[in-house]
């Protein structure tokens, strides 16, 4: 394995002292402009890069931000949302020469443990927090650690009952770097408005028995969608026996199983709304297996459009949004906070419904 070049190597090739190299590479006074330029040219020729750990110990930034996903691993490989989100995040970070430290963990407790470790080791300058929970320990922990963060898909971070945050030691932080002032921002998504748009469309087609195949019950956006569905149904005089949600883990397996259950009911739904593209495609396959024509007897709507929705036959009606743009918005907000801007709230554009061949009026006898 090739040895990484060091400051000593640069000093020897440039014919200067190691302290002069340190001054030049860290932008400190003490060397002439010509010497500084020569040192930087030699460093570039040798392929030298600053040691992020050493920079962190000296109080400088690490040059990285973190993203942790606490989701069942089997649901991530086929779901397009996170791939598009990360691509948008990476586009902004790469332009800013900032690394993305990414980790998948089994649950929210493990995610919090990662934040504590990253804070103690000064591995990241800030974090992007996804999947806000209905009862979420992460904002209070990040505030306590003073770790800048942007929550994606939620409103402002919650506070503890006393209003003063929690102590880092009480939060489980075992190292002793000085906590910085809390810097927490948010990028919001209008899940309620998007669900209202879906129900208005299906109701306008004539559907009165609609089932929402939802995701994980502890995610805030799942709750917002379910509440919006109930509210919009009630406004139209539809009760919970006609319009309701069923919970899954977002996987194609559970999406298919939920579809099979509701279609076997004495009065099955005439329309199904799925919380992601993978479950919608799985549901469409179940309908085909059962001999239920789509959209002749069953209409299907997918949340978050993807190539899967567009290549499935029939093509699936879906909510279209710029998910990569969502990621770019979040990454840009975090970089702005790290640059010294005050924390803020950014609003992503509401998804628009794209009607395709999977939706139509229900059969006349239903």
Q: Stretch 193-203: mean pLDDT, rounded?
A: 96
End-to-end CA distance of the chain: 70
φ and ψ of 319, to 5 deg: -85, 120
Q: For residues 244 and 261, what is the distance between their CA atoms, to the nearest angstrom? A: 14
Mean pLDDT, range 158-172, rounded to an integer: 35
Residue 326 or 168, more confident: 326
Tens of pLDDT, residues 258-304: 999 999 999 999 999 999 999 999 999 999 999 999 999 999 999 98
Residue 28: count other Cβ atoms within 10 Å of its Cβ. 11
pLDDT for the residue 184: 80
Enumerate residues 6+ apart whose C-beta is below 8 A from 319.
194, 197, 198, 301, 302, 303, 304, 305, 351, 352, 353, 354
Q: What pLDDT does 4 receive?
A: 67
Of 39-53, 113-127, 243-257, minimum mean pLDDT range: 39-53
**Which of 59-68, 238-247, 297-306, 321-330 is the least confident region?**
59-68
Averaged confidence pLDDT in the chain: 85
* 3-state SS class at 162: coil
Q: Specify the pLDDT at position 129.
A: 95
Taking alpha carbons only, the member of 320, 324, 328 closest to residue 351 is 320
Alpha-carbon torsion angle 141, 144, 146, 150, nearest 10: 30
Cβ contacts of 346 within 8 Å, gap of 6 or more: 185, 186, 187, 188, 329, 330, 333
> Of all residues in the chain, what percent carry a pLDDT higher than 70?
84
Given this model, what pLDDT does residue 235 score?
Answer: 96
What was the pLDDT predicted at 362?
96
The answer, yes or no, to whether residue 332 has pLDDT greater than 60, is yes
CA gap 21, 23 in Å, rounded: 5
Residue 317 — pLDDT band, cuts 50, 70, 90? very high
Q: How confident is the model at residue 172 (pLDDT cuts 50, 70, 90)?
A: very low
Please report the DSSP string for 15-74 in residue order.
TS-HHHHHHHHTT-SSS-HHHHHHHHHHHHHHT----HHHHHHTT---SEEEEEEES-GG
């Amino acid at each position: 394995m090739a040895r990484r070049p060091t400051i000593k190597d640069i000093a020897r090739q440039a014919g200067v002292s190691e302290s002069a190299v340190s001054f030049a590479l860290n932008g400190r006074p003490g060397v002439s402009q010509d010497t500084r330029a020569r040192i930087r040219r030699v460093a570039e020729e040798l392929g030298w890069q600053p040691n992020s750990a050493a920079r962190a110990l000296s109080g400088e930034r690490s040059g990285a931000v973190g993203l942790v996903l606490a989701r069942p691993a089997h649901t991530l490989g086929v779901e397009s949302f996170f791939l598009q989100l990360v691509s948008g995040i990476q586009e902004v970070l790469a332009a800013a020469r900032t690394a993305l430290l990414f980790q998948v963990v089994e649950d929210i407790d493990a995610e919090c443990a990662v934040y504590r470790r990253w804070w103690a080791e000064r591995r990241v300058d800030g974090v992007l927090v996804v999947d806000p929970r209905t009862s979420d320990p992460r904002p209070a922990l990040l505030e306590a650690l003073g770790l800048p963060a942007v929550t994606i898909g939620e409103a402002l971070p919650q506070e503890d009952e006393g209003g003063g945050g929690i102590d880092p030691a009480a939060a489980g932080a075992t190292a002793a770097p000085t906590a910085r002032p809390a810097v927490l921002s948010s990028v919001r998504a209008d899940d309620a408005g998007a669900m209202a748009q879906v129900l208005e469309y299906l109701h306008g087609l004539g559907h009165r028995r609609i089932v929402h195949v939802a995701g994980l019950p502890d995610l805030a956006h799942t709750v917002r969608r379910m509440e919006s569905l109930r509210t919009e149904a009630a406004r139209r005089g539809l009760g919970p026996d006609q319009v309701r949600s069923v919970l899954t883990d977002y996987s194609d397996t559970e999406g298919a199983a939920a579809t099979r259950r509701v279609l076997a009911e004495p009065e099955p739904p005439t329309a199904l709304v799925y919380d992601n593209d993978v479950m919608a495609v799985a549901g469409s396959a179940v309908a085909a297996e059962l001999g239920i024509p789509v959209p002749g007897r069953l209409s299907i709507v997918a949340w978050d459009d993807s190539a899967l929705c567009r290549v499935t036959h029939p093509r699936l009606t879906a909510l279209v949004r710029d998910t990569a743009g969502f990621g770019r918005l979040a990454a840009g907000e975090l970089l702005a906070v790290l640059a010294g801007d005050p924390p803020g709230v950014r609003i992503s554009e509401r998804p628009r419904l794209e009607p395709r061949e999977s939706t139509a009026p229900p059969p006349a006898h239903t």
